[in-house]
Structure 1
């Protein structure tokens, strides 16, 4: 039986959580709107022009015989003086272009080539179309590390926002069914706000997916992702017997670039060790775009010039871009795949195909193969089954996150983004509807139960703080806000009127 005392306590707890939910929502909602809008832009661009115009089409000749990749690459290199070939991306379909990334001292271009005639179809700076603009906004708000920190903080607080939102809506509905499908028997029917029903019910439906998106998105972020989770999820350096021990090689007889011939003898190896060991991310990512599967980004790269590896290109076959392309097809790479050329004396040929790069739909088909540039041996053949548990979660999760699983996935992502925007806008509408009707009473944010002071309800506060501690930027933000409240806001009348 609810006594007046119990009702008062319950109301105090409800308003305490509501105020926290309100303040967190005011901070988080603008970021969620930006993330949702930029995600819609990325979905549109990746499924129309593609990230680098890889969806440009060409006429298919009767012979359907493609020009040698080396010929296509030579024409691509001719568009930029003194350039080096970095990457070849095979055509997505029989009627789409091949892509070549070429670099000079001052330029980094992506060149689209007709794979049948080797004619240049288009050339533009790499990472320069609208997709990458939306991607940069989605990643760091165009503010670099500071923007990355802001978005990670917003995502961390969104998790706490979801938990507090569940509590608030549960207290009103007392039934999961009523939380998802409000009906005429719901309590306080006459007092319900239509906007609140939209906000809370929509939140109930998408909250689990939003929680999933926050966690998978933060795994790329600079603090929780790179410093906490990703750092412990990389492959050990010697997993495939190819520890990345840098070497000093006499490569006078070997030519770096697209037409490196295999020498008869193995290069001479000396034991020199540079200070920094290259990782998959530092070698294969171009610009700020994430092109390497999450679990591999911080994993050290194998090196050429050792006696490691086996079952690669036959010793009597010269190692050049056409033979590596043919070998990639022989070992199972079909359709669009990416071939990174060796850079430097210890660089390797890297053949890769993954859903995160829009190469194919299934994340379980992810594969990365490294080939020694001198011996032709396979140094590593990394597949989805080799990933650890969180690596598999990220591979599958990012495919869902990016809408690469097919049209149903794309449509689901569009509906999700629109729902997030609607939920955030409805939250602001509710705040506007709650404002005092008289201008003289309207001051500041007007939070719930304005002017009242509540004690901390520890049964809920402790779980929320425990979750916050898991995500460092959330607990940092909470500590900063608490210090500001104690040292500044509570001592300055204007700020008290504005915020409390």
Structure 2
């Protein structure tokens, strides 16, 4: 009879203790994350084409007939909105092209915000909607589960971490061993057989696994817990937001994201500077702001790309702030002007970020499908379709394998040291992503209480 070591060497891969330990974690990862991966893939695929969809749905608001006359001054367009709604303008989004309307965001007396669209050639108001009230903003909020509250937002952060775990364990399970023929890069059998689903699931996963990890890791920058502290790190070191551009500039306590609503990830929590020029003049007279038209002229003089958003001064020390985050990273720009002198207090572009900030902004641009144009969108759409297929095929595999009336948890490894070793490795990921690590502890405890311990008690009875 062959000895024990020879038997272990020749045993089917599914019977090895390490394989079973990895399979068990892969099963739990899939059980938790697959429903969320379907949600993320479907909403993410739609959001890749957010501009195209919103432009089509709201074309009556967003587009105008181009006239052979110069656009009206911004102040005239703002006055038209004030006449139409009677509320205070707080932000202006300039047209990105001659055939687009000007979007003016107002703060209503009821405490909410509305976006009013104005024809820049005639000053006619084309209509309004709630600020961030488009279909694609709703899709974005569903994608992050922000629509359902902070706790749900934490769930998405956990799901992203488990997605990385799913890819890591899945790659180990896929890895060819011994004299295995087929199933590594080919699909065997027919859809009626479980092996077809297993091969299709594995082969698809090995081709899109890198993209899943990339999307999950970069998606963490928007997360409630990890994203917050990563952003603080970026803003607290020269590797992210460059502190040198704000030396000797008085700063407020208002972060950029509060003023603009949407900014670059690297700058969203950086404070806005304060206007002080002319505040202490010799005659004691109250200083006079330069006005929105002069501010717009200054922004154009500084060369900011069309389509930028302007945040209006919020009080005597407020500033005129312009920002734009287009598909082309090189055109990212943030400019703050003193509202009295028009002096640029901060003028910063993508090239001014530290190495960490630049890598993160590039990663986020790719995640959003805008760094490489249509090719970026198509590739990520294919990845999203593959993720949906993998989730469905994983469910079919489980359904075909599970015993009747059972959850079908993969068997415990014969050597528990293997399970401990795999868990220790996974703990590294839990340290990097603490919220994910906490969820791993919960899953491990539930497994020990309701699956592993009863199984061992049954075997020793």
Q: Same fold (TM over 0.5)?
A: yes
**1:384–1:392 contact (8 Å) kept in structure 2:** yes
Please point out which of 226, 241, 251 is paired with 2:247: 241
Residue 362 (1) aligns with residue 338 (2): no
| Matched residue, 2:66 | 60
Please point out which of 318, 328, 338 is paired with 1:372: 338
Output one character per residue of 1:241-264: Cα deviation in whole Å (capped at 9) or x when no partner: 145445xxxxxxxxxxxxxxxxxx
Residue 324 (1) aligns with residue 295 (2): yes
Please point out which of 318, 338, 348 is paired with 1:382: 348
Residue 427 (1) aligns with residue 389 (2): no
- Could you tell me how far 1:426 is from its partner in structure 2? 0.9
| Matched residue, 2:104 | 100
Please point out which of 216, 227, 231 is paired with 1:225: 227
| Matched residue, 1:214 | 216
Q: Provide the C-alpha distance between the structure 1 equivalents of 2:248 and 2:151, rounded to a whole number of angstroms.
A: 36
Residue 412 (1) aligns with residue 388 (2): no
1:469-488 correspondence to structure 2 within 5 Å: 469-487=431-449
**1:92–1:335 contact (8 Å) kept in structure 2:** yes
Change (3 A) 1:307 1:179: farther
- Could you tell me how far 1:218 is from its partner in structure 2? 0.5
Please point out which of 62, 86, 91 is paired with 2:95: 91
Residue 118 (1) aligns with residue 94 (2): no
- Could you tell me how far 1:484 is from its partner in structure 2? 3.2
**1:237–1:300 contact (8 Å) kept in structure 2:** no
> Secondary structure of the residue that 1:121 maps to in structure 2?
strand
> Secondary structure of the residue that 2:410 maps to in structure 1?
coil
Normalised to the residue count of structure 2, the TM-score between the two structures is 0.85
**1:162–1:207 contact (8 Å) kept in structure 2:** yes
Bigger fraction of residues in helix: 2
- Could you tell me how far 1:183 is from its partner in structure 2? 7.6
| Matched residue, 1:196 | 198
Change (3 A) 1:432 1:454: farther
- Could you tell me how far 1:124 is from its partner in structure 2? 0.8
Please point out which of 153, 162, 169 is paired with 2:167: 162
| Matched residue, 2:284 | none
| Matched residue, 1:403 | 369
Change (3 A) 1:488 1:423: closer
1:259-408 correspondence to structure 2 within 5 Å: 277-285=253-261, 291-305=262-276, 319-355=290-326, 361-405=327-371, 406-408=373-375
- Could you tell me how far 1:213 is from its partner in structure 2? 0.8
| Matched residue, 1:468 | 430
| Matched residue, 2:39 | 34
- Could you tell me how far 1:211 is from its partner in structure 2? 0.8
Q: Provide the C-alpha distance between the structure 2 equivalents of 1:319 and 1:209, rounded to a whole number of angstroms.
A: 49
Change (3 A) 1:192 1:143: closer
Give unpaired runs (5+ residues) of structure 2: 236-240, 280-287
Change (3 A) 1:146 1:242: farther
Change (3 A) 1:468 1:118: same
Normalised to the residue count of structure 1, the TM-score between the two structures is 0.79
- Could you tell me how far 1:367 is from its partner in structure 2? 0.9
Give unpaired runs (5+ residues) of structure 1: 247-276, 286-290, 309-316, 356-360, 437-441
Change (3 A) 1:89 1:443: same
Q: Provide the C-alpha distance between the structure 1 equivalents of 2:182 and 2:133, rounded to a whole number of angstroms.
A: 48
CA RMSD of aligned residues (A): 3.1
Output one character per residue of 1:292-335: Cα deviation in whole Å (capped at 9) or x when no partner: 11111122221111599xxxxxxxx9722122112222211232
